A and B are shown apart, each in its own frame.
Chain A
Amino acid sequence: QSVLTQPPSASETPGRRVTISCSGSRSNIGRNSVNWYQQFPGTAPKLLISNNSQRPSGVPDRFSGSKSGTSASLAISGLQSEDEADYYCSAWDASLNGWVFGGGTKLTVL
């Protein structure tokens, strides 16, 4: 059971907008910033959003992140078929003194 809670799956049609939630606690999301990763089968996770809402160079502005209290969200607008992947949230946990991850959300573009 992961420390951060994500829905196991999400789906939407091309061109539409989808949001993926990530729920934590005061010791992780409540105190520290949230990062999001995108992973395709057989490859390493790739940083998608850092520090709650910052996009690294090369990440399209269709991807956006937000945080409120002990929860965070990843939004993907203008969905494309190549967005079909697994998405993970992560944050530093002050009580565990380590990084924690969500269980991942498998996004299907219908």
Chain B
Amino acid sequence: QVQLQQSGPGLVKPSQTLSLTCAISGDSVSSNSAAWNWIRQSPSRGLEWLGRTYYKSKWYNNYAVSVKSRITINPDTSKNQFSLQLNSVTPDDTAVYYCARDIDWHDYWGQGTLVTVSS
């Protein structure tokens, strides 16, 4: 059974960097058959895919156009986890952030982290 456990602060100041981590159990971040995603949800934006990382002989990333200039998703093979960094946040980045496994569909999700951007 795959489990995804999210961690990270729930409050970030405007212009700073949002950082979250998703620890994986029951699978490997280096799996050749899965990708590891970050998705957020807010009343104004609904469900919004942010990006993913995956390994197929080498590491790849895909990022949403809306955040491409501000986002980094990194795998950490030593800890079997992956992280999200979103730079220069504004109040519009306030949302519940989810990590999720993607095997052509998102079958396992983290518990969600409400991140509020406020001074």
Contact = CB atoms under 8 A, between A and B. Distances in A.
Main secondary structure on B side of the interface with A = strand
B46 interface: yes
A107 to B, nearest CB: 16
A35 B106 contact: yes
A10 to B, nearest CB: 16
Nearest to B110: A44
Interface residues of B, number: 21
A46 B104 CA distance: 15
Nearest to A88: B47
B67 to A, nearest CB: 10
Contacts, number: 55
Interface of B: 37, 39, 46-49, 51, 62-65, 98, 102, 104-107, 109-112
- Interface majority SS (helix, strand, loop, mixed), chain A: strand
Interface of A: 2, 33, 35, 37, 43-47, 50-51, 56, 88, 90, 92, 96-104
Contact of A101 (B49, B51, B104): B49
A90 B106 CA distance: 9
B105 A51 contact: yes
A43 B41 CA distance: 11
